[in-house]
Amino acid sequence: MRQTAAEGIQYDRIRAVEWEQDRVKLIDQRLLPAKLEYLLLDSLADGAGAIRDMAVRGAPAIGITAAYAVVLGARSRFREDPRRWRELLEPDLEFLVQARPTAVNLRWAVARMRGVINKVSGDPVAALLDEARRIHGEDIAANRRMGGLGAALIEPGGGVLTHCNTGALATGGYGTALGVVRAGVAAGRIASVYADETRPWLQGARLTAWELVQEGIPVTLIADGAAAYLMQLGKVRWVLVGADRIAANGDTANKIGTYMTACCARRHGVKFMVVAPTTTVDLATADGDAIPIEARAESEVLNYAGRRIAPEGARAWNPAFDVTPADMIDAIVTEKGVVEQPTRAKIAAMMTG
């Protein structure tokens, strides 16, 4: 029996990041779906390591984890020297920022925490923890808002395709593009959900599928290379993706394979939606050409589950992200509203409105 939003179904039970007993508690996403285990972070360096090694991933979740990591770093440095703690903390903050350079939310969160650092007096921990919790709570509220806005764009009865993971595991909770799925399914607007595997880390297979199964939302997993044929058969009406950075003109950096999926969507008349909080919009980045693309280790492509799958001597190219041009995006959904057929002027108006 179909359950609707009016019946109170929220599909919102997963939290990837929590502050618990004076430290950060993370779902170790590298182990999903085989194991649900948690990492307990006691230091800023632990937080940077979890971000760099992709135990936590997704731009909003990275930003939230970074905010809590700043609390841990400030606590340590204040205990070390209550008079010089700001000076001692500054290199730690830059170390944290460099953990994942493409995700603008990381730098944004550290900058916001630095604003508290610059004005707090005495022991900074309470004030910084309050700010980190605000960042976390604001993200969940924004996701719920985006979920409703995005779902309203989808005509009832259609299928959708997701790429990577954009759900509660990638955010403070509920999710960005997967928040649209949650809201759309709850409202009876989405009939079927397909998820790309998303190589080489398989976030779609391991994480998106896991989230939807946990929530009781039916999901069909496909190989990345099957997306074009799926669209050709008319199985989906929308592609829903998140973003790690949105440039001032609307060009969007997201997990590698997003641009390929956008090309297929354009060819087959499938609409393409980017769902991300305004913290992901970087007005200082003029366009996609100016977005730094993280290059990750060759071993992620040459190996699988600890075993080499390519012949010795073969090399690999492993960009973590690609850029989808704004003119291939039908809608950018943020907590501030919906920008259809995004342009520089429309993005600026949304951000200042």
100 labelled ligand-binding: yes
The CA distance from 147 to 260, in Å, is: 24
Respond yes or no: is residue 244 known to be catalytic.
Answer: yes
Sign, CA torsion 264/267/271/274:
positive
255 labelled ligand-binding: yes
- Which residue(s) pair with 221 in the sheet? 195
Give 11-72 as a DSSP string: -----SEEEETTEEEEE-TTSTTT---EEEE-SHHHHHHHHHTTSS-SHHHHHHHHHHHHHH
Contact 128, 70 (CB under 8 A): yes
34 labelled ligand-binding: no
35 labelled ligand-binding: no
25 labelled ligand-binding: no
Single out the residue of 351, 5, 336 nearest to residue 138, CA to CA: 336
Q: Which one is catalytic: 196, 244, 251, 330? A: 244
58 labelled ligand-binding: yes
**Amino acid (one-letter) located at 243:** A
The CA distance from 327 to 171, in Å, is: 26
115 labelled ligand-binding: no
Angle at the Cα of 136 from the Cα atoms of 205 and 8, rounded to 5 degrees: 70
At residue 159, what are phi and psi to the nearest 5 degrees? -100, 160
| Residue numbering of the annotated binding site | 57-59, 100, 203, 254-255
Q: Which segments are annotated as binding site for substrate?
A: 57-59, 100, 203, 254-255
Residues with a catalytic annotation lie at 244
